[in-house]
Structure 1
Amino acid sequence: MAVRFRRARRDDLPAIVAMLADDPLGAARETPEDPGADHYVRAFEAIAIDARQYLAVGEDEAGVNAVCQVTLIPGLSRRGATRALIESVRVASRCRGQGVGEELLKHAVDHARTSGAAIVQLTSDRSRADAHRFYERLGFAPTHTGFKLELQPARCPDHASAAASPRREHQGDTR
């Protein structure tokens, strides 16, 4: 199957959200009936303007068929290495089992490499045994245990005044 990868556009949101919702875990978290909802549009716009984000889609003659997000994270560990975090890996149900997922991950890893990343990491829900085998087949190793803490987003009604008021990060700092 011939798949072309490119940076996602806003008009790809319906296909992206549909893929995110097309499994038991995603079905409980996403709202594919309203892919133009403000929360999806705001998130897409934030990703689109962030140079460290790459939201990739795959497409064939029938349309968008795959998605993943690559986030570049500068760090101090590993001698200042940049990490690439791959998230939201999905392939449209019509294309599963045809090598699209493998091509998508190769594309994401190539993007990470050419962007200067020294390591690529991803997380996968522990219930996704098939996905774990897939990632291991592509060379990913289950070397760490991940932890997540669900948060309710903080709301700041006046971002401008919050940004303008200085905060002392270290109260005991006398410099």
Structure 2
Amino acid sequence: MELYIKELKTEVDWSLAYPVMHELRTHLSEKEYINLMHEMADENYQLFALIDDEKIQSLAGVTIRTNLYALKHVYVYDLVTTKHARSKGYGEKLLSFLEIWGREQGCTNIALESGVQRTDAHRFYEKKLGFDRTSYSFRKRL
């Protein structure tokens, strides 16, 4: 069985990925998720899957953005590895792929946010992958 990464571009692909994405985005029904995927795809959101043993093991939802502080960069909105496949290096492989892909797209940085409660994820990003914790993110419901 071969491990590979591919972009998921179709509604069929997105449906196959839903059980994994739902582990991260538990508040979304499959219908809500599919509807949002269509909207986000129109805004250049791309979903990449790491597949091993013909099963989606990990997902990364990204877009390329440009702003004054991060310049042209890959922004990771969603990153999840299915519960039964954690600690197998899948997240690291997927982020390493995105770093190479981002450079090929002309990006100078890769950025992501992580919920304040996800201390294990923060340790993974900082210690294992070399990410710097550079800011806090603030949000206000309208």
Q: TM-score range by the shorter chain?
A: 0.7 to 0.9
Is 2:59 the counterpart of 1:67?
yes
Larger Rg: 1
Q: TM-score, normalised by structure 1?
A: 0.70
TM-superposed CA distance for 1:134, in Å, is 0.6
**Matched letter for residue 56 of structure 1:** F
Distance in 2 between residues matched to 1:3 and 1:49, nearest whole Å:
29
> What does 1:15-54 correspond to in 2, within 5 Å?
15-22=16-23, 26-27=25-26, 29-31=27-29, 35=30, 37=31, 39-50=32-43, 52-54=44-46
1:57 CA drift (Å): 0.9
- Within a 5 Å distance, the mapping from 1:88-167 to structure 2 comes to 88-136=78-126, 137-151=128-142
Gaps of 5+ in 2: none
1:110-162 superposed Cα distances (whole Å, 9 cap, x missing partner): 222111111111000000000001111201011111112334xxxxxxxxxxx
The whole-number CA distance in structure 1 between the counterparts of 2:102 and 2:93 is 14
Q: Distance in 2 between matches of 1:149 and 1:68?
A: 25
Structure number with higher strand proportion: 2
TM-score norm. by structure 2 comes to: 0.85
Structure-1 separation of matches of 2:107 and 2:33: 27
Going from structure 1 to structure 2, the CA distance change for 1:62 and 1:93 (only over 3 Å counts) comes to: farther
Shift of the 62–70 alpha-carbon distance from structure 1 to 2, 3 Å rule, reads same
| CA shift digits 1:74-118 (9 cap, x unpaired) | 22x25x921221121001122111111110111122222111111
Percent of aligned pairs with the same residue? 23
Query: Is the Cα contact below 8 Å between 2:15 and 2:34 reproduced in 1?
Result: no
- Separation in 2 of the partners of 1:4 and 1:49? 25
Matched residue, 2:5: 5
Mapped contact 1:17–1:30 kept (Cα < 8 A): no
Deviation at 1:44, TM superposition (A): 1.9
**CA–CA separation in structure 2 for the residues paired with 1:62 and 1:73:** 31
CA distance in 1, matches of 2:80, 2:16: 11
CA RMSD, Structure 1 to Structure 2 (Å) = 2.2
Q: Which amino acid aligns with 2:50?
A: G
Shift of 1:42: 2.5
